[in-house]
Amino acid sequence: FDNIDGVIWYDGRLVPWKEANVHLLTHGLHYASCVFEGERAYGGRVFRSTAHSERLKASANILDFEIPFSVAEIDAAKQLAIDANNLPDGYLRPIAWRGSEMMSVSAPNNTIHLAIAAWQWPSYFDPAERLKGIRMDLAEYRRPDPRTIPALAKASGLYMICTISKHKAERKGYADAMMLDWEGRVAECTGANIFFVQGGKLHTPIADCFLAGITRATVIDLARRRGIEVIERRIMPEELDGFAECFITGTAAEVTPVSEIAAWRFIPGAISEQLMRDYAVEVQPKGRQAAA
Ligand code: PMP
């Protein structure tokens, strides 16, 4: 991924992709003093850009640093990264980290850097293909107790268990893994939130020890606009037997139906399909939606 022809927005200017480097003694690399976002542009516009920029700033504050750019400046920088690389349908990766001046755990005066990379990632929206659903494993690692780690930040350090869990699931032939929380309740997936359908209503875990996804919020809003009731509650894994449909939500996953989680089975149905289609319309820049 370090050899693409393109430009990366790096601390306020566009630099060639291959020159967007950090020093080995970067605090963020050693101690995970690092926060990021994952976003998508559709039709040349970054979807819910400001919400993502605000979350990035908030994640940095949780890790005790301040990104030296405003939300408006970050929004403009993301748009520049999309435009400069000519990526109407692209994925964006803003990342902020503590620099390399000091190498002790305490490094309050290290420079805070911000970079924004963007690359091509069209949404292959084929409803029939998606409705087959993905197969997921049950992860061994659990989302940690929020008293042990800043669980609500989109912080790099929280992804260590996601990578391990996803690798393990993929080795077994699954697409992803569902994670429980520290108390054994259903939490989320390694990079997406999770919803279930029962009796025409949506059920989703309360996001108090994992990332409250921006896609999750969008889908809750879309469902309510359709008159579908959304219940945020504690969900125990034993309950999965009683759910008819299941889908995951995330910037990358968008709305993706699930057919299996370990021994549990789901049949992607009308509500998953409806929300999948509604989301595909919602992400298009205003003015294009009528045509979508
Ligand atoms: N949970 C985790 C662990 C994630 O990495 C993501 C993707 N950012 C999500 C949930 C979904 O968040 P969003 O809808 O904001 O992309």
DSSP-derived pairing of the beta strands 201-205 and 193-198: antiparallel
Residues 251 and 158 in one domain: yes
Residues 139 and 105 in one domain: no
pLDDT of residue 289: 63
Q: Looking at the 3D structure of the chain, how many domains does it have? A: 2
Residues 35 and 159 in one domain: no
Is residue 159 lining ligand 1, measured as CB closer than 6 Å?
Answer: no
180 bridge partner residues: 186
C-alpha to C-alpha distances, 265 to 42, 106, 260, 273, 274, nearest whole angstrom? 33, 48, 5, 17, 20
Determine contact, residues 218/180, Cβ cutoff 8 Å: no
The string of pLDDT tens digits covering residues 29-49 is 999 999 999 999 999 999 999
- The region that residue 184 occupies, defined by phi over 0 for left and psi between -120 and 50 for alpha, beta otherwise, is left
Residues 89 and 164 in one domain: no
249 bridge partner residues: 193, 255
Residues 134 and 254 in one domain: yes
Residue 292 pLDDT > 70: no
The string of pLDDT tens digits covering residues 58-90 is 999 999 999 999 999 999 999 999 999 999 999
Residues 263 and 142 in one domain: yes
Instruction: For residue 143, report the distance from its CA to the centre of ligand 1, in Å.
Output: 13
Residues 148 and 265 in one domain: yes
Residues 83 and 146 in one domain: no
Q: Answer whether residue 17 is part of any domain.
A: yes
Q: What CATH number has the domain bearing residue 153?
A: 3.20.10.10
Intra-chain end-to-end CA distance of the chain, in Å: 32
Instruction: For residue 101, report the distance from its CA to the centre of ligand 1, in Å.
Output: 31
The string of pLDDT tens digits covering residues 158-193 is 999 999 999 999 999 999 999 999 999 999 999 999
Strand ranges (DSSP E) for 37-82? 39-42, 45-46
Q: State the complex-level ipTM.
A: 0.99
Residue 267 pLDDT > 60: yes
Q: Answer whether residue 1 is part of any domain.
A: no
pTM: 0.96
Q: Answer whether residue 289 is part of any domain.
A: no
Containing domain of residue 48, as a range? 7-120
pLDDT of residue 206: 98
Reduced to 3 states, what is the DSSP secondary structure of residue 138? strand
Spatial separation of the C-alpha atoms in residues 13 and 8, rounded to whole Å: 8
Nearest to 126 by CA among 260, 227, 254: 254
Residues 76 and 175 in one domain: no
Q: Answer whether residue 291 is part of any domain.
A: no
- Determine which helix (DSSP H) or strand (DSSP E) holds 269, and give its type and residue range: none
The string of pLDDT tens digits covering residues 226-255 is 999 999 999 999 999 999 999 999 999 999
Residue 287 banded pLDDT, cuts 50, 70, 90: confident
Residues 62 and 150 in one domain: no
Q: Answer whether residue 268 is part of any domain.
A: yes
Is residue 192 lining ligand 1, measured as CB closer than 6 Å?
Answer: yes
The string of pLDDT tens digits covering residues 190-224 is 999 999 999 999 999 999 999 999 999 999 999 99
Hey, which of 154, 164, 190, 248 would you mutate to test ligand 1's pocket, going by the most ligand atoms within 8 Å of its Cβ? Answer: 154
Spatial separation of the C-alpha atoms in residues 214 and 198, rounded to whole Å: 23
The string of pLDDT tens digits covering residues 99-158 is 999 999 999 999 999 999 999 988 877 888 899 999 999 999 999 999 999 999 999 999
The domain boundary residue, chosen from 67, 88, 120 = 120
Clarify whether 154 is annotated catalytic: yes
Spatial separation of the C-alpha atoms in residues 50 and 146, rounded to whole Å: 26
Residues 83 and 12 in one domain: yes
The domain boundary residue, chosen from 120, 152, 170 = 120
Instruction: For residue 213, report the distance from its CA to the centre of ligand 1, in Å.
Output: 5
Q: What CATH number has the domain bearing residue 84?
A: 3.30.470.10
Spatial separation of the C-alpha atoms in residues 198 and 240, rounded to whole Å: 10
Q: Answer whether residue 2 is part of any domain.
A: no
Is residue 213 lining ligand 1, measured as CB closer than 6 Å?
Answer: yes
Instruction: For residue 104, report the distance from its CA to the centre of ligand 1, in Å.
Output: 30
The domain boundary residue, chosen from 72, 105, 120 = 120
Residues 132 and 111 in one domain: no
Cα 209 to the center of its chain, rounded Å: 15
Residue 290 banded pLDDT, cuts 50, 70, 90: low
Q: How many CA atoms lie within 13 A of 179 on its CB side?
A: 27
Q: Answer whether residue 97 is part of any domain.
A: yes
pLDDT of residue 284: 96
Q: Answer whether residue 290 is part of any domain.
A: no
